[in-house]
Structures are given as structure tokens and as C-alpha cells.
Structure 1
Amino acid sequence: MTEVTRAGTFELGDFPVTRMGYGAMQLAGPHVFGPPKDRNAAIAVLRTAVESGITHIDTSDFYGPHVTNQIIREALHPYPDALTIVTKVGASRGSDGSWNLAASAAELESAVHDNLRHLGLDVLDVVNFRVMFDVTAPAEGDIEAPLAALAQLQAKGLIRHIGLSNVTAKQIAQGRAMTEIVCVQNLYNLAHRNDDVLIDSLAEDGIAYVPFFPLGGFSPLQAEALNDAANQCGATPMQVALAWLLHRSPNILLIPGTSSVEHLRQNIESVNLDLPQDVLSSLDTIGSGKPQD
């Protein structure tokens, strides 16, 4: 058994993936724009992730743009049969690095073909529609038209499964009324727990929840509490935060990103971290969010 499989697997659509995955966003340049400083190091991280047993890689062609997917293809193509690559559409990058809405039917079709071309695939395993009504947080709005466009591309055989990112509970309900939704990707961590109720409801229906920014937005007091827990466990704060997420719910899939092989291995080691009950109780007091309606 590899370290990553100790955390178990989860059925993402019809793909069994390791709950410890890898997020490729940091393989691009600063601010997720342009090429990396060290392309060979980026390739080494990807190959180490797969060699370590990770079967879930999260990416998007708007990382770079194009850069991250091109590096994934160079490092891993032809892909192992067990590897599931999840990508995102719904945004584009300006020449100044800005993040822009790109959710028309034509833009989504172009994005799907860009992902296929740069990854070297004939069909995308999972495509998350990234909702961009507010770049920084979920915001209410109608997503029927873009989801209908993605469903048409799915019917054409270009996409196997559809997921959602940066969404509210109402948008998830709207999406599920239109097509099968296999995963939801939102901001969630020890300090930001607005999706607590949502995670539990998705778990009941066998839908994956994929949190991003596992250490983002901690206040100094919250960071101090996490550091104390890490010291008690003989681990890094990131390892404790990841271990807590794995403990939180069996439908949570992790995609921590890094451009360092050493940091990747530290992240993987978090699956071996057993958090004592007193540490779990202490960590549970960190969350400042309120359940989402």
C-alpha cells in the first residue's frame, strides 16, 4: 500500500481516485501566469506525484494560460490508466494576467478544445465549471446556459463528467437538476467553514467535495492555534490542516499544490498523521464561518 492510499479512495464519477491528489496551479509562473522559473522542477513534481500513487491531478488551461497543461503532457503523457485529470473552464486570462469571465457557449467549447489539445487527450475525465460572478467567493446567479453548453459537449463525447467550482448551494441544486454533478470545488479549510452543511449533504449523495486554499485566510490567532496543534503532533501546520480535512468527511478530496518535490512529499505524509481527539477538538474551535444556507 502506498502512503496516499492509506487515506482511501473515492469514486469521482466512475473514476476511483486517491483522496490525496495534486493541484497543478503552482506549476505556472508567479500569480499563475507565464512559464515557471524551473520547468524541469515542475516536471519532477508531477512525476513524483504519480510515482507516489496519486491518481487525481487538478488543472486548467487558464493556468499560465496553457503552461500547466503543457507541462503535465510533457511529464506524464501517455498517461497511466489509473490517472484521472480534472480541469476547469469558465475563465480566461488577459494579457496583463487578469482573470476574466469566459462562460458563453463558444468560449466554453473553445476552452474544452484547448484543454484537450494541450493535455493530449481525446476526452476530458472531469470538467469543472468555474462560476465567475465574483472571482473571490461564490455569488448567486443563473448557471443554466453555461451548464447546458457543457452538457452538449458531454453528449458529443468530449467530456465524461461535469463538476462545479466557486458555487452556492442553490447553484449546485440548479446544476443537479440539469445533469449529474460529480464534484464541487470551493474554498474551505479550518478557518473558513461556510460549507460545513453543504459538505455533509454532498457526502450523503456520493458527491465529492474538493477544497482549495487549505491554509488560506487564517487570522493570527487561528494560525497560532494551528501551530500549537502542529507542535503537539510533531508535524507542520500544513500537514495538520490536510489531515484535519481528510478526517472531516470521506467525500473530501485534497488537491494541495506545490512546485517543490520536498513539499509534495510532506503533503503526502499528512495521510499518515493521526490526530488525537484533544487536537481535533482544539482544531474544531478554529473555524469562523457560518453554515451556508
Structure 2
Amino acid sequence: MYTHRERVEADMHINNLLFVSIYTRHHHHLPFSFLSLSPSSLMAHSSVHKDRGELRIHENLVELGTDLAEYIAELSEASVKERGVFAIAISGGSLIGLMGKLCEAPYHKTVDWAKWYIFWVDERVVGKTHADSNYKLAKDGLLSKVPVVPSHVNSINDSVSAEEAADDYEFHIRQLVKTRTINVSDNSDCPKFDLILLGMGPDGHVASLFPNHPMLDEKSEWVTFITDSPKPPPERITFTLPVINSASNVAVVVTGDSKAEAVRLAIDDVGPDHLSLPARLVQPTKGKLVWFLDKPAASKLDGSQFSE
């Protein structure tokens, strides 16, 4: 049984052989650049920060999207093999577009989509067809293009207030923890999602957890609500930090030079003044943290704090 990465590398090897056959038929030699090309050379520069998890820094968005798809597919495969389901919580924004490779070969057919249970790390309290809806964004960009089971798509109740929507979503998640569709954390009663995918704003916010907001201190609730979001729309629900940090795997996906300073403050050793930045508070208790960055987003990082 091959892993997704092995299948991708096999496909690349076949394509390389076809290239060699066609190119040498006309040119009788190979370009030097091709001689040094390997599947691993097309992947990200990967390093480990001394305190902040694994960093995967990519040349461009295409490379990042390919690596992200492979990462998600491998976690899905491992989770389904281990416990029969894959519980994934996603965010909105540009993240959904970067997940688009999952709609393509080989992932469209090789991922066991029927075993996916999809949740939202945060959601705007608007109708499901509203332009601001994270559900709509994910449905249009991903979920309508892959064979997920509709009943496994766990969206919020958008017909009630933000407070009621948060309570309802937490109750729903608690029921799925009881059936072990979602695992439970080893060191708390929090749900233990197989993967939580986060984006990050230029201000360092993740999910709908904003800088200097009281909800950063929430310890007992799994899902909370906000009615004064500094970004419109104002009413949202969001996972709390204890839930995010209880996940088996957390990936933070950030692109663009407008977020480079926030990336630096979230990852580098910058002293105590920025320890309350929401993205810096993402620190899985026992899980694994991975940062997917393009070069502009990573441009201000201190490389001396990394190891290969």
C-alpha cells in the first residue's frame, strides 16, 4: 500500500521518463537543470523552529498548495487507518483556495472522502448563501467538488443569535465526542480534532480570536461568540484556544508580505511584549504544529532559530 507522497513521486517519475524520451529524441541530450531535478527538490524548504514547530517555506503559491494537499491527504489516510474517520476543522479566507489541489488528481479519487467529518474553526453568523459565509466559501471552493457525505458536513445554525449558535455548535461537537467521531484530548475533556487548519491575519488573529480580546482568556467553553469583531461582519462564533491546542495536528497557512511582520511576531523569539498575539498562543499541548508559508510571508523570520 503506497502513501500519497509515494504515489505523487511515482507519477512525477513517469512524467520525467516521458520527458526524457521526447526531449532526447529531438535534442540527443538533457538540459543541466533537469539532471538535478528530483521530486524532493520541488517541495518546500522544511525546518524546525526551536519553540514554534515545523516551518515549510515555499517558493510560490502553487508549490504551497501542492504541499498542503499532500500533507492533508497523508493525515487523512493515517487517521482513517487508525480510527476509521478523519475529523478536520477548517477556517475561511484564502485558505480554501490553497486547498484546491485536493479537488484534482490524484487526491480527488485517492482520498477517502466518505470518512471525512468537516467542521469550521470559526464562522460568521450569516446565512449559508451570504458572501461572508465561511461555509459558502468552502462549499463553492472545495466541498461541492469532492464526494464528501453531506451529513458529515457540520455547519452552524445560522438562524439564531451568535450566542445561541455558539452554544448549539458546542453541544453538537460534544455529542460527536461521545461517539468518538471526534477523539477526546488525553489531558483535558476538550475535543481532539485530527487536524485544525488556520489562516492568520496581518494583525496576528487566527480563527475569530483577535488581539487583546477577552475571549483569548476563555478556558471553559469549547465554542464562544463575538459580537464586536474588528473585522466585518461583527457577529461570529469561534473555537477557543483550548480546543485549537488540543488537536492532534494544527497547520497555520500564511501567504503574502503584508503578513510578514505578524509571522515574525508569531514565530520568532521577540520577547514578552507579543506573547498575547493570538497566533503565538497557538501551541498544541501534545499535537504537532506546522506552518505553511510562502517566501514573502517568511521574509522577516530570523533563520538562526531554525534547524534542519
- Shorter-chain TM range is 0.3 to 0.5
Larger Rg: 2
Instruction: Normalising by structure 1, report the TM-score.
Output: 0.36
